[in-house]
Amino acid sequence: MDIIPTALEGVVILEPLVFADTRGYFFESFSLREFEEKVCPIRFVQDNESKSSYGVLRGLHYQNPPYAQSKLVRVIKGAVLDVAVDIRKGSRTYGQHVAVELTEENHRQMFIPRGFAHGFVVLSDEAIFQYKCDNYYAPHAEGAIAWDDPALDIDWKVASDSILLSDKDRKHLPLTEAGTPF
């Protein structure tokens, strides 16, 4: 597994070694030993999966401490643009983001540590998205920032009028008004 650093400290892309032949392919999608050697110590406790259609945008979400979560995300089917935003006050990259295309073909994964907001938009007709979390989901600890915050300047690669949001995701505040706890 190759680890590709990003412009945000702690956020990394994981690229597996894929063995392909006429029968299909095989790759190791997760090894705790290798992850801890190359990325950081971790204890994942929950796996989640979502299925979404083109233009569905989920995010930008985080959990407030002490329920904060690190996530290891990947696409099983389709393609998404995956985004992590640094919401750690005092960080030299506060308010900056990285965006990575994760697809069923490239098998890439992205690790988003605690202290980052996370979201993705579906670029294909349909996508199945999986993620591991190092803390359990706590509904009362939910936090989020507006996906279209102009200060973040995220190019979601989907026209604004094609974005599909939940009612909850339509109501989030910009980063400067959200009062993030990190």
pLDDT tens, position by position, 5-18: 999 999 999 999 99
Residues annotated as catalytic (active site), given as ranges: 61, 131
**Are the C-beta atoms of 55 and 158 separated by less than 8 Å?**
yes
The domain in which residue 135 lies consists of 2-178
The domain spanning residue 33 has which CATH number? Answer: 2.60.120.10
**Are the C-beta atoms of 104 and 148 separated by less than 8 Å?**
no
Domain count, the chain: 1
pLDDT tens, position by position, 66-117: 999 999 999 999 999 999 999 999 999 999 999 999 999 999 999 999 999 9
